[in-house]
Amino acid sequence: MAAPGRALRYVAVRPGLAIGLSIVAILAMGAILAPLLAPFPGDAGNDTNLLATLQPPGGVHPLGTDLAGRDVWSRILFGVRISVGVSVVIIVAALAVGVPVGLFAGAAGGALDALLMRIVDIFLAFPSLLLALAIAATLGPSMEHAAIAIVVSWWPWYARLMRGEAAAIRGRAYVEAARLLGIAPWRVTLRHILPNAIGPVIVQSSLDLGGVILTFAALSFLGLGAQDPTPEWGLMVEQGRTLTSTQPWVALFPGAAIMVAALAFTLLGEGLRERLDPKGVARP
């Protein structure tokens, strides 16, 4: 598609996008290289070191240790795989459900459209965090259940967004032209409507990734998501919650990691919006 030079220039004039991309790249590197970069890889698992509990940052523990004597820095590094990695999987799963539903509702119109959108409305009637909480609580506390809960509460947003875009594109001249060329309806939908309608959905999903990271951390914080010893950031904040006045590093650093990751994906989404969803950009 775009020449690499053009893509570089596009990023260069958008500092927010450049920062977002850099942080995402660093997070990806951290997730991949965690076993090499972490000074105490075992601390992300079942290891404990009761002789070195609640060590302040410095020395062999750059970000200190927690109540079980585990190296906070090592756990944050491995936590990228959980907190960001699982969030990416959640978004992809929500897209995998929401995009086809919205696409076919919008492209078909009529009764199918009405039926699918009423189902979507039922889901959207509940605040998504509340719905995720209720589902996670019903399924029982585990990381997988928390992820399923978020997917269930999130996909209707993509269905509705996709439906609106597809319905708008359906009336375009090139869709009519495609049908007049004898192209079958399903092919018109996939080849001529989908590629022209997906842009805003991609932007939205990138913006949402920050929100999903926060929601996933929140569920773990509330005890409904990841369970000890999983190095999930929200869970780590919860474990340091009572120590904030005496040993703040236990909660502070995982909390900062959540914030930085959420911010990075928001910056990334905003930066992509201009390219993929020009009408959503506020002009100065």
Q: How far is CA 169 from the centre of its chain?
A: 27
**83-91, 129-137, 187-195, 210-218 -> range binding other proteins (CB under 8 A):** 187-195
* Residue 122 within binding range of other proteins, rule CB under 8 A: no
Binds other proteins (CB under 8 A): choice among 182, 245, 279, 284:
182
Q: CB-wise, 47 or 274, nearer to other proteins?
A: 274
Nearest approach, Cβ of residue 11 and other proteins (Å) = 22
Q: CB-wise, 34 or 272, nearer to other proteins?
A: 272
Nearest approach, Cβ of residue 135 and other proteins (Å) = 37
Residue 74 amino acid letter: S
The residue assigned the tokens 């020395």 is: 59
Nearest approach, Cβ of residue 169 and other proteins (Å) = 10
Binds other proteins (CB under 8 A): choice among 48, 53, 142, 196:
196
Binds other proteins (CB under 8 A): choice among 181, 246, 282, 283:
181
With CB under 8 A, what is the number of residues at the site for other proteins? 17
- Tell me whether the omega of the peptide bond preceding residue 229 falls within 30 degrees of 0, making it cis: yes
* Residue 11 within binding range of other proteins, rule CB under 8 A: no
* Residue 174 within binding range of other proteins, rule CB under 8 A: yes
* Residue 278 within binding range of other proteins, rule CB under 8 A: no
The total of other beta-carbon atoms located within 10 Å of residue 176's CB is 12
Residue 62 amino acid letter: P
* Residue 186 within binding range of other proteins, rule CB under 8 A: no
* Residue 96 within binding range of other proteins, rule CB under 8 A: no
**23-31, 182-190, 221-229, 268-276 -> range binding other proteins (CB under 8 A):** 182-190
Angle between helices 128-139 and 199-221 (to 10 degrees): 50
Counting Cα atoms < 13 Å in the Cβ hemisphere of 9 gives 5
Binds other proteins (CB under 8 A): choice among 184, 190, 260, 281:
184
Q: CB-wise, 36 or 181, nearer to other proteins?
A: 181
The site for other proteins (CB under 8 A) is made up of 110, 172-174, 176-184, 191-192, 195-196
